[in-house]
Amino acid sequence: MSRQEVISLNEEAAKSLRLGICGLGTVGTGTLDLLRENADEIRYRLGAELEVTRIATRTLEGKKIDNIKHVSTNVFDVINDASIDVVIETIGGYDPALDVIRGALISGKHVVTANKALIAEHGNELFELARENNVALAFESSVAAGIPIIKALREGLAGNKISWLAGIINGTGNFILTEMESKQRQFEEVLKEAQELGYAEADPTFDIEGIDAAHKLSIMGSIAFGIPLQFDKTYTEGISSITPEDLNYANELGYKIKHLGIARRSKNGIEMRVHPTLLSKSRLLANVNGVGNAVLIHGNMVGATLYSGPGAGSAATASAVVADLIDLARHIQSGITSPVYPALGYFEMRNELTIIEIGEIEAEYYLRIPAVDRIGVMAQISGILQEHDVSIEAVIQKEAISETVPIIILTHIVTEKRLDQAIAEIESLADVAGKITRIRVEPFNGEAA
Amino acid sequence: MSRQEVISLNEEAAKSLRLGICGLGTVGTGTLDLLRENADEIRYRLGAELEVTRIATRTLEGKKIDNIKHVSTNVFDVINDASIDVVIETIGGYDPALDVIRGALISGKHVVTANKALIAEHGNELFELARENNVALAFESSVAAGIPIIKALREGLAGNKISWLAGIINGTGNFILTEMESKQRQFEEVLKEAQELGYAEADPTFDIEGIDAAHKLSIMGSIAFGIPLQFDKTYTEGISSITPEDLNYANELGYKIKHLGIARRSKNGIEMRVHPTLLSKSRLLANVNGVGNAVLIHGNMVGATLYSGPGAGSAATASAVVADLIDLARHIQSGITSPVYPALGYFEMRNELTIIEIGEIEAEYYLRIPAVDRIGVMAQISGILQEHDVSIEAVIQKEAISETVPIIILTHIVTEKRLDQAIAEIESLADVAGKITRIRVEPFNGEAA
């Protein structure tokens, strides 16, 4: 049984919280700006001050650090300052962020972090460390920036048994798919533009291969089901193989293609997967475009609720960092000496729930088969599908404009490994000229919203 | 300065919370069902039980009250039961619900209520009573059912100065407008069907005249800006004058018509208003159809975030009631003796912010003018608008199919009372045959989401 997280009472901090910021990049600067800009409103809300008394950042050049008492270039200075109540970790990445968080927790400081990679990959260790040291480790800003999705899942929907959640949780990927669809452009071309616009990194792997989304998904999945963080068991598939043609065929069938993170409680166990997905055009989630984020959560009582907004950016992320600070300040003011919410929402984790292999999931599928335009090829394909008990929901076969003509098939629900066997057989046909593109289709149990 | 709300520590309740339900209608029954259905999951989340030990309901006939220790038909029995920690008020309406809540708070019991009318109209008194008695009065379920919108506004977005919010917060009204638009049906006809389907009451005034929405808006507006509840100052306009023609003209201009509750911080003060509104088709909010609810909130840092889902129903409302219970249980378990969040989110209320008259607001407007099909009428109308400094953004004038032909005008932004003067002059023209339909248009500062 997991023990409850304990938040220590800091008597001196009853009126005002002293903050140390580690890292003045996009999020750190945004947090500092927000605390200055909204100082009045925060004082009305909280009846106290959130005061940044120390900042440590790699370089001081060009940073707006006037009126900050203590400034240095050594991030560990913040941990060693005994007067600091809360360390705000906005360094990003693993090194030295991991050591900063460990050090802060061990020295009895609360930590607020926006670092999704660290929480997803080291959260189990870090939450335990926070518990042992009677301090809080808050991470609202690590998923979907300013959309308060952690609070919604952990607290607002706590009366539910969560059935599934599905989110557009990487703005870069969603921008690329939106541009590809609306302007009929190829993936590589749009990626290059996204890099020029600053939406995508020079090395875009984290975004386009779904690693960033998988970090966020594993955090949400843990809170949804009460299971430990298991980033390494999250299935990840990127968007680089999607073509404008796929987006068009999907559209013809009534769908949009989105890069989704999906966590689902299925009869065999927990599904955790990031991949391109066809979803009905009529859903709000399908109409979240550009760099926006959105998460659709289905609870057994409330049904489906959607949370949408900007999923990145300096001020939007700072909004969530400061929400965590205000939450923490309120709890400290209240004199709490034992936990309110455990980090992942569960008093006792549901360790019996295991994450299943991707081959075990059941879904509907979109197949684009590069067939040679010859009599009988459709009969061969449907014969193989039938042999493997894969039933067909819809087919698009256009007139050939070259020697090969794509056959588009939408299947009914089927176990993935069974479909994959059928695909392998179809690809080995003499009249099929290359790899089959296979995209999962999510009907989301026909639930609304 | 408002004093903080204080939640008392109930030592005995540290492991388990004893609940009394007053009223076994839709929401009360839903809450009882949820607590039974999800008992296991709640135990994992909370490490404790939420146990209903007493129920009082007007009639016991047909109620599923097996296994409940104490059952009666006198709702005050719940208040008089010293063993009860939390009273769940699901009677609805004003009498005896108001006296039940007052009695419960005075006797030192926490209260969870779904009663939007009571909170909107008596909340200032009741929150004060809760404070004086060191107990909590929780009301998440009073707005937008299971969508955790109170928590989002009060806690999740606490780092922001809220600029405005706009919501579809009455499912009945939204169902009617959706049907009118998609099936080109008249208001009265759809209302009758909604009544037959059970979506609308026999007396539909609360829903279609916007009173229910105004209750919810005044609750959200208070939390957004830190002002006392002022339902009586909330401007309310219903949907009964909207015609399928208006929905079509709006569509032609790129808009949908939705019945919105809008709260805005403007340069003159706070706007609080419920009325039909044109909003761009490209917005997610414009695409929330049927009985769904959605609230779009703009914070100065996070930008616009949207919260959407089912806005009514037994299980969806119970989801929010139980979220409040779990929240309360966690705080009691933590031994809190002083407040965490004040009911309306602010330590010190912003009493200097006053709600302005509807004539003082600035908006764009859609006008449908029943003009006689004669040369020169458009010149007369545009002359009057120009005299009042109302500039025109778009005009639709179709060929006449009878003696009168509607002229549709979309104005640029203008103060409402100035526009109303122009409208009165236009209505007095010999070539204008009746009342002008005037619907506000919301560009929402061009903000996304």
Rounded Cα gap, residues B110 and B130, in angstroms: 8
**Does the distance separating the beta carbons of A319 and B299 come in below 8 Å?**
yes
pLDDT at B373 (0 to 100): 85
Q: Which residues does chain B have within 8 Å of residue A330's beta carbon, measured at their own beta carbons?
A: 339-341
pLDDT at A12 (0 to 100): 39
Q: Are A32 and A98 in contact (CB under 8 A)?
A: no
B162-168 and A137-138 beta bridge pairing: unpaired
**Does the distance separating the beta carbons of A300 and B38 come in below 8 Å?**
yes
Token output for B434: 């009746």
Q: Which residues does chain A have within 8 Å of residue B37's beta carbon, measured at their own beta carbons?
A: 300-301
Residue predicted with more confidence, B401 or B85:
B85
Scanning the structure block, which residue is given the tokens 């009394």?
A: B20
**Does the distance separating the beta carbons of B307 and A315 come in below 8 Å?**
no
**Candidate from A38, A155, A308 with C-beta closest to B327:** A155
Report residue B1's pLDDT band, with 50, 70 and 90 as the boundaries.
Answer: very low
Report residue B15's pLDDT band, with 50, 70 and 90 as the boundaries.
Answer: low
Rounded Cα gap, residues B408 and A307, in angstroms: 36
Mean pLDDT, chain B, whole residue set: 92
Rounded Cα gap, residues B403 and B386, in angstroms: 26
Token output for A171: 């703005």
Among the residue ranges A32-41, B196-205, B364-373, B434-443, the one predicted with the least confidence is: B196-205
| H or E element that contains A37 | helix A26-37
pLDDT at A1 (0 to 100): 26
Side-chain-side CA neighbours of residue B303 (13 Å): 20
**Does the distance separating the beta carbons of B319 and A157 come in below 8 Å?**
yes
* Of the candidates A140, A164, A201, A142, the residue with the CA atom closest to the CA atom of residue A326: A140
Q: Which residues does chain B have within 8 Å of residue A153's beta carbon, measured at their own beta carbons?
A: none
Amino acid at B286: A
CA–chain centroid gap for A367, Å, is 26
A269-280 and A235-236 beta bridge pairing: parallel
Q: Would you give the DSSP letter of residue B269? A: E
Residue predicted with more confidence, B428 or A449:
B428
Report residue B390's pLDDT band, with 50, 70 and 90 as the boundaries.
Answer: very high
**Does the distance separating the beta carbons of A336 and B333 come in below 8 Å?**
no
* Of the candidates B236, B218, B88, the residue with the CA atom closest to the CA atom of residue B150: B218
pLDDT at B332 (0 to 100): 85
Torsion sign (Cα): A221, A223, A224, A228: positive
CA-nearest residue to B324 within chain A is A156
All structural domains of chain B: 11-146+314-333 (3.40.50.720), 158-309 (3.30.360.10), 358-442 (3.30.70.260)
Q: Which residues does chain B have within 8 Å of residue A112's beta carbon, measured at their own beta carbons?
A: none
Torsion angle (degrees, nearest 10) of CA A317, A318, A321, A325: -160
pLDDT at B24 (0 to 100): 95
CA distance A356 to chain B (A): 21
Please name the residues in contact with A428: beta carbons below 8 A apart, sequence gap of 6 or more.
Answer: none
CB atoms within 10 A of CB B412: 13
Please name the residues in contact with B189: beta carbons below 8 A apart, sequence gap of 6 or more.
Answer: none
Token output for A392: 């067909």
Q: Which residues does chain A have within 8 Å of residue B168's beta carbon, measured at their own beta carbons?
A: none
* The Cα angle at residue B264 between residues B262 and B270, in degrees rounded to 5: 115
In Å, the largest CA–CA distance within chain B is 83
pLDDT at A445 (0 to 100): 64
**Candidate from A42, A226, A319 with C-beta closest to B302:** A319
**Candidate from B47, B147, B307 with C-beta closest to A347:** B47
Rounded Cα gap, residues B31 and B37, in angstroms: 10
Rounded Cα gap, residues B276 and B259, in angstroms: 4
* The Cα angle at residue B80 between residues B79 and B82, in degrees rounded to 5: 100
**Does the distance separating the beta carbons of A44 and B347 come in below 8 Å?**
yes
pLDDT at B42 (0 to 100): 97
Torsion sign (Cα): A354, A355, A359, A361: positive
pLDDT at B445 (0 to 100): 64
**Candidate from A37, A140, A301 with C-beta closest to B318:** A301
pLDDT at B100 over 90: yes
Distances (CA, A) of A142 to A89, A125, A421, B189: 11, 17, 38, 49
**Does the distance separating the beta carbons of A45 and B158 come in below 8 Å?**
yes
Rounded Cα gap, residues A380 and A386, in angstroms: 10
Mean pLDDT of B160-168: 98
Rounded Cα gap, residues A281 and B132, in angstroms: 52
pLDDT at A89 (0 to 100): 98
Q: Which residues does chain A have within 8 Å of residue B287's beta carbon, measured at their own beta carbons?
A: 284, 287
CA distance B321 to chain A (A): 8
Q: Are A263 and A143 in contact (CB under 8 A)?
A: no
Kindly provide the b/e burial profile for residues B24-40, where b requires at least 16 CB atoms within 10 angstroms of the residue's own CB.
bebbbbbbbebbebbee
Check if B216 is active-site.
yes
- The gap between the terminal CA atoms of chain B, to the nearest Å, is 36
CA–chain centroid gap for A127, Å, is 19
Report residue B38's pLDDT band, with 50, 70 and 90 as the boundaries.
Answer: very high
**Does the distance separating the beta carbons of A155 and B148 come in below 8 Å?**
yes
**Candidate from A151, A159, A335 with C-beta closest to B156:** A151
CA–chain centroid gap for A183, Å, is 26
CA distance A198 to chain B (A): 19
Strand partners, B276: B259
**Does the distance separating the beta carbons of B310 and A308 come in below 8 Å?**
no
**Does the distance separating the beta carbons of A333 and B334 come in below 8 Å?**
no
Peptide bond into B96 cis (omega under 30): yes
Q: In percent, how much of chain B has pLDDT > 90?
A: 85
CA distance A139 to chain B (A): 12
CA distance B51 to chain A (A): 14
* pLDDT tens digits, one per residue of A225-238: 999 999 999 999 99
Scanning the structure block, which residue is given the tokens 């065999």?
A: A268
Rounded Cα gap, residues A287 and A315, in angstroms: 24
Q: Which residues does chain B have within 8 Å of residue A322's beta carbon, measured at their own beta carbons?
A: 158-159, 301
**Does the distance separating the beta carbons of A347 and B323 come in below 8 Å?**
no
Residue contacts between A and B (CB atoms, under 8 Å): 253
Report residue B7's pLDDT band, with 50, 70 and 90 as the boundaries.
Answer: very low
Rounded Cα gap, residues B126 and A205, in angstroms: 54
pLDDT at A6 (0 to 100): 31
pLDDT at B60 (0 to 100): 87
Residue predicted with more confidence, A399 or B292:
B292
Distances (CA, A) of B407 to A100, B368, B370, B418, B443: 66, 6, 7, 20, 22
CA distance A330 to chain B (A): 5
Strand partners, A365: A440
CA-nearest residue to B328 within chain A is A340
Q: Which residues does chain A have within 8 Å of residue B140's beta carbon, measured at their own beta carbons?
A: 156
Mean pLDDT of B172-188: 96
Q: Is B343 exposed, middle or buried (0-12, 13-18, 19+ CB in 10 A)?
A: buried
* pLDDT tens digits, one per residue of B314-354: 999 999 999 999 999 998 888 776 558 899 999 999 999 99
Q: What is the pLDDT along chain A (449 residues), one digit of tens a residue?
A: 222 333 333 343 346 899 999 999 999 999 999 999 999 999 999 999 999 999 999 988 888 888 899 999 999 999 999 999 999 999 999 999 999 999 999 999 999 999 999 999 999 999 999 999 999 999 999 999 999 999 999 999 999 999 999 999 999 999 999 999 999 999 999 999 999 988 888 889 999 999 999 999 999 999 999 999 999 999 999 999 999 999 999 999 999 999 999 999 999 899 999 999 999 999 999 999 999 999 999 999 999 999 999 988 999 999 999 999 999 999 888 877 655 889 999 999 999 999 999 999 999 999 999 999 888 999 999 999 999 999 999 999 987 777 888 999 999 999 999 999 999 999 999 999 999 999 999 988 645 44
ipTM for the complex shown: 0.94
Rounded Cα gap, residues B324 and B311, in angstroms: 17
Residue predicted with more confidence, B123 or B402:
B123
Q: Which residues does chain A have within 8 Å of residue B339's beta carbon, measured at their own beta carbons?
A: 330, 333-334
Token output for B81: 């039961």
CA distance B149 to chain A (A): 8
* Of the candidates A441, A433, A434, A387, the residue with the CA atom closest to the CA atom of residue A409: A441
CA distance B63 to chain A (A): 20
| H or E element that contains B56 | strand B49-56
Catalytic residue among A109, A116, A151, A216: A216
pLDDT at A61 (0 to 100): 86
**Candidate from B155, B300, B304 with C-beta closest to A327:** B155
Q: Would you give the DSSP letter of residue A162? A: E
CA-nearest residue to B35 within chain A is A159
Rounded Cα gap, residues A25 and B228, in angstroms: 39
**Does the distance separating the beta carbons of B302 and A37 come in below 8 Å?**
no
**Candidate from B326, B335, B337 with C-beta closest to A159:** B326
Rounded Cα gap, residues A225 and A351, in angstroms: 10
Report residue B61's pLDDT band, with 50, 70 and 90 as the boundaries.
Answer: confident
pLDDT at B202 over 80: yes
pLDDT at A15 (0 to 100): 66
pLDDT at B436 over 90: yes
**Does the distance separating the beta carbons of B340 and A334 come in below 8 Å?**
yes
pLDDT at B338 (0 to 100): 56
pLDDT at B189 (0 to 100): 96
State whether residue B423 is helix, strand or coil: helix
* The Cα angle at residue B237 between residues B231 and B242, in degrees rounded to 5: 155
**Candidate from A300, A302, A316 with C-beta closest to B301:** A316
CA distance B283 to chain A (A): 9
Q: Which residues does chain A have within 8 Å of residue B307's beta carbon, measured at their own beta carbons?
A: 305-307
CA-nearest residue to B335 within chain A is A336
**Does the distance separating the beta carbons of A338 and B333 come in below 8 Å?**
yes
Mean pLDDT of B95-105: 97
Q: Are A303 and B316 in contact (CB under 8 A)?
A: yes
* Of the candidates A280, A268, A173, A279, the residue with the CA atom closest to the CA atom of residue A217: A173
CA-nearest residue to B317 within chain A is A302
pLDDT at A5 (0 to 100): 31
A43, A227, A301, best to mutate vs chain B, most B CBs in 10 Å: A301
Token output for B313: 């129903």
